[in-house]
Amino acid sequence: MFLDRLPRPLRLALYGVATLILLAMCLVPQQDLPSAQMGDKIEHTIAWFILTGTGLLLSHQRPLAIGAYAIGLGVLVEVLQSTMGFGRHGDWRDLVADSLGVAAGLAVYALVRRFGRR
């Protein structure tokens, strides 16, 4: 994959941008976001799947670190949503959905690595 051949500082910057986009989507007031009409938990699962997948595309040698980072970010988001007062509410079920997205991203990565070599 060509993305993992980019210089490490550039890959970190790209992942930082992906993280900032996700943080903005999770922390701005709810009324300022467009409605995707999918349901909050599905949106969380998809967002964390994309975050994990992006990390794996940029640095496939560290899948567990990327997964741990994504779950840690999910915890941080829920804590911030609980304390910021922007009309957002922390919810442990969102963290479960985030974790499912991370697990799905890691599972797809493992399948691609296993069967992509053949």
Residue 95 has pLDDT above 80, yes or no: yes
Mean pLDDT of the chain: 89
| pLDDT at site 113 | 87
Task: Tell me the two tokens of residue 72.
Answer: 């840690």
Residue 34 has pLDDT above 70, yes or no: no
Q: How far apart are CA 34 and CA 19, in angstroms?
A: 19
Residue 1 has pLDDT above 80, yes or no: no
Residue 118 has pLDDT above 80, yes or no: no
Among 34-43, 69-78, 102-111, whose mean pLDDT is lowest? 34-43
Task: Tell me the two tokens of residue 39.
Answer: 């349901």
Query: Coil, strand, or helix at residue 60?
Result: coil
Read off the pTM. 0.88
Task: Tell me the two tokens of residue 99.
Answer: 């974790």
Residue 3 has pLDDT above 80, yes or no: no
| pLDDT at site 116 | 76
| pLDDT at site 49 | 98
Residue 33 has pLDDT above 70, yes or no: no
Query: Coil, strand, or helix at residue 28?
Result: coil
Rg for the chain (alpha carbons), in Å?
15
